[in-house]
Amino acid sequence: MLKSKSILIGVGGGIAAYKVCEVVSSLFQSGAEVRVILTETAQRFIKPLTVATLSRHQAYTDKDFWQATHSRPLHIALGEEADLFLIAPLTANTLGKLAHGLADNLLTNTVLASRCPILLAPAMNTEMWEQPIIQRNWEKLKTDPRYHGVGPGSGLLACDRIGSGRMAEPKEIINKLNSLAYTQGKRDLKGKRILITGGGTREHLDPVRFLGNPSTGKMGLALAQAASDRGGMVTFIHGAIASELLPISPDYKIIPVVTAEEMKAAVMTHSEQSDIIIMSAAVADVKPSDYANYKLPKKELPTNLKLETVVDILSKLGNAKKPHQILIGFAAQTGDIVNPALDKLKRKNLDIIVTNPIDKKGAGFGTNTNQAILIDNQGKQKIVDSCSKLELSHQLLDFIVA
Mark whether 248 and 383 lie in a shared domain.
yes
Task: Return the CATH number at 168.
Answer: 3.40.50.1950
188 part of a folded domain = no
* Total number of domains constituting the chain: 2
Residue 170 contacts residue 181 (beta carbons within 8 Å):
no
Mark whether 147 and 284 lie in a shared domain.
no
Mark whether 175 and 80 lie in a shared domain.
yes
- What is the pLDDT at residue 70? 63
Pairing of strands 153-156, 162-166: antiparallel
Mark whether 371 and 223 lie in a shared domain.
yes
26 part of a folded domain = yes
- What is the pLDDT at residue 246? 86
Mark whether 197 and 139 lie in a shared domain.
no
Residue 384 contacts residue 360 (beta carbons within 8 Å):
no
| Strand spans (E) along 264-335 | 276-279, 286-288, 307-309, 326-333
- What is the pLDDT at residue 271? 94
Q: Provide the pLDDT confidence category of residue 332 given band limits of 50, 70 and 90.
A: confident
Average pLDDT, the chain: 92
- What is the pLDDT at residue 308? 92
Lowest mean pLDDT across 5-9, 126-130, 351-355: 126-130
- For residue 44, the enclosing domain spans 6-183
CA atoms within 13 A of residue 344's CA, in its CB half-sphere: 20
pLDDT tens for residues 310-319?
989 999 999 9
pLDDT tens for residues 63-107?
988 876 567 888 999 999 999 999 999 999 999 999 999 999 999
Residue 263 contacts residue 314 (beta carbons within 8 Å):
no
Look at residues 138, 156, 183 and tell me which one is the last residue of a structural domain. 183
Mark whether 234 and 117 lie in a shared domain.
no
Instruction: Give the distance from CA 253 to its chain's centroid.
Output: 12
Say whether pLDDT at 19 is over 90: yes
Query: In whole angstroms, what is the distance from residue 359 CA to residue 135 CA?
Result: 49
Q: pLDDT over 70 for what percent of the chain?
A: 99
- What is the pLDDT at residue 92? 95
- What is the pLDDT at residue 68? 64
101 part of a folded domain = yes
Q: Would you call 397 helix, strand, or coil by DSSP?
A: helix
384 part of a folded domain = yes
- What is the pLDDT at residue 69? 58
244 part of a folded domain = yes
Task: Return the CATH number at 362.
Answer: 3.40.50.10300
| Mean pLDDT confidence for 139-151 | 92
| Stated pTM of the model | 0.89
CA atoms within 13 A of residue 260's CA, in its CB half-sphere: 21
Backbone conformation region of residue 231, classed left if phi is above 0, alpha if psi is from -120 to 50, else beta: left
1 part of a folded domain = no
The DSSP-derived string for 179-238 is HHHHHTT--TTTT-EEEEEESB--EESSSS-EE-----SHHHHHHHHHHHHTT-EEEEEE
> In one letter, which amino acid is 12?
G
- What is the pLDDT at residue 126? 87
> In one letter, which amino acid is 314?
L
Look at residues 164, 183, 202 and tell me which one is the last residue of a structural domain. 183
pLDDT tens for residues 245-300?
888 778 899 999 999 999 999 999 999 999 999 999 999 899 999 999 999 999 98
Mark whether 174 and 309 lie in a shared domain.
no
Mark whether 127 and 247 lie in a shared domain.
no
Mark whether 117 and 63 lie in a shared domain.
yes
The verdict on whether 21 is a catalytic residue reads: no
DSSP annotation of 260 reads H
Write down the catalytic residue from 21, 116, 159, 387: 159
Say whether pLDDT at 364 is over 80: no
- What is the pLDDT at residue 163? 78
Say whether pLDDT at 353 is over 90: yes
205 part of a folded domain = yes
Look at residues 183, 203, 236 and tell me which one is the last residue of a structural domain. 183
Mark whether 321 and 241 lie in a shared domain.
yes
Q: Is the dihedral of CA 62, 68, 74, 75 positive or negative?
A: positive
Mark whether 201 and 169 lie in a shared domain.
no
Burial 354-375 (b: 16+ CB within 10 A, else e): bbbbbeeeebbbebebbbbbbb
Mark whether 203 and 112 lie in a shared domain.
no
21 part of a folded domain = yes
Say whether pLDDT at 181 is over 90: yes
